[in-house]
Amino acid sequence: MSKNVPGIMRQKPITPWLYLVPSLIVMFTFIVYPGVNTFYLSLRNADNTAWASTACKAGESCWGIFENYHYAITSEIMQTAFLNNIKWILIMVTGTVALGLLIAVLADRVRYESVAKSLIFLPMAISFVGAGVIWKFMYNYESGTNQIGLLNAIITALGGQPVSWLTEPQINTIALIVVGIWMWTGFCMTILAAGLRGVPEEILEAARVDGANEWMVFWKIMIPQILPTITVVITTMVINVLKIFDIVYVMTGGNYGTEVIANRLYTEMYKSYQPGRASAIAVVLILVIIPAMIMNIRRFNEQEATR
């Protein structure tokens, strides 16, 4: 990196810091300090007057100073949240990446490419809250035959029974994930399409001339070529999904078994007034994300090496 700076542009040792200090102060105050503080708070009791171990009850299992983590890892509601987050990761990441890839590959072959891509991408521009309203209306449930929600109208028109999408256990989490897929497929599509554009045309042509069909070209050439891009998309999506909050908050409030980690954190902090527990959940969240963080830095270092 430093080889990039022209040698004649040496400056007084103080100058760089004049440019950097405003940013450093703000980032320290709003990211580094609170991060460390959250870790400290996670070891304290609810009103931050003593260590968390004082919250232990006699006769029950206790993790001492890590009592908040006891709650954050083993309590029933958090177990539900973990399980749901895993569902979210599995279904949403697979869904967005697979659909994004499909659309990126197919759109390349048609004349209305830009229109199709814009349509798929448009949900990215709106808020989760807006998407929540859109889909809550899609999922609307009435008990009779007169349905104003499109999905139940289709089901009743085909002779089925209407489904209460957002309160039916098992179905409701999937219903929420569908909203996530609807919003984020455009993101995956855009990044993957850029990756595909980087695959040299000659390789594809050579394979086709050698008699490979489109299916083989896709699996044997395109996929291996854009594997790094796919990895990036998957890591980014996993991080995004772990932090998912708005959709759940707006559509079910985490009720009916749809709880996720980030919504639980909000509930513990601002509805149950348990900052210790909320902090412990936050620390658990960052621990889960750290591997992705390391991957990010490693990828960055590789990029820097080839600059």
Partner 1 sequence: MNPFTRFWNWIKSLPVHIILIGLCIIWLVPSLGLLVTSFRPVQDINETGWWTVFAKPKGFEEFKTYCASCHGEDGTAIATADLTDPDLVQNYRRSFNLLSSLERDIDGQPHMGDISVPDEQTAATIAAYMRRISGIEARPKFTLSNYIDAFVGYRGNKSYQQDCADGTQAVDLHCDVRDLTNPRGMGRAFLNSLFVSIPSTILPILFAAFAAYAFSWMDFKGRQWMFALLVGLQVVPLQMTLIPISRLYAQVGLNGTFLGIWLFHTGFGLPYAIYLMRNFMGSLPREIFESAYLDGASHWTAFYRLAIPLSVPAIASLAIFQFLWIWNDLLVALVFLGGQHPVLTYQIGNMVTSLGSGWHLLTAAAFISMALPMLVFLFLQRYFVRGLLAGSVKG
Least Å distance, CB 256 to partner 1, is 14
Query: In angstroms, rounded to a whole number, what is the distance separating the alpha carbons of residues 180 and 230?
Result: 19
Q: Which is nearer to partner 1, 57 or 161 (CB)?
A: 161
Least Å distance, CB 19 to partner 1, is 4
CA–chain centroid gap for 144, Å, is 37
Q: Which is nearer to partner 1, 176 or 191 (CB)?
A: 191
Least Å distance, CB 120 to partner 1, is 5
- Residue identified by tokens 């229109």 is 115
Based on the number of CB atoms within 10 Å of its own CB, is 141 exposed (0-12), middle (13-18) or buried (19 or more)? middle
- Residue identified by tokens 């695959």 is 199
Q: Which is nearer to partner 1, 136 or 208 (CB)?
A: 136
Q: Which is nearer to partner 1, 193 or 221 (CB)?
A: 193
Least Å distance, CB 229 to partner 1, is 10
Question: Residues 4, 5, 8, CA angle at the centre, nearest 5°?
Answer: 140
Angstrom distances, CA of residue 144 to CA of 54, 77, 141, 162, 175: 54, 34, 9, 8, 21
Q: Which is nearer to partner 1, 59 or 144 (CB)?
A: 144
Least Å distance, CB 27 to partner 1, is 5
- For 224, other C-beta atoms within 10 Å of its C-beta total 11
Least Å distance, CB 52 to partner 1, is 14
Q: Which helix (H) or strand (E) holds 264?
A: helix 261-270
Q: Which is nearer to partner 1, 38 or 173 (CB)?
A: 38
Angstrom distances, CA of residue 237 to CA of 88, 90, 120, 126: 10, 11, 17, 18
Is 62 strand, coil or helix? coil
Query: In angstroms, rounded to a whole number, what is the distance separating the alpha carbons of residues 172 and 12?
Result: 61
Q: Which is nearer to partner 1, 86 or 286 (CB)?
A: 286
Query: In angstroms, rounded to a whole number, what is the distance separating the alpha carbons of residues 25 and 155?
Result: 57
Least Å distance, CB 150 to partner 1, is 6
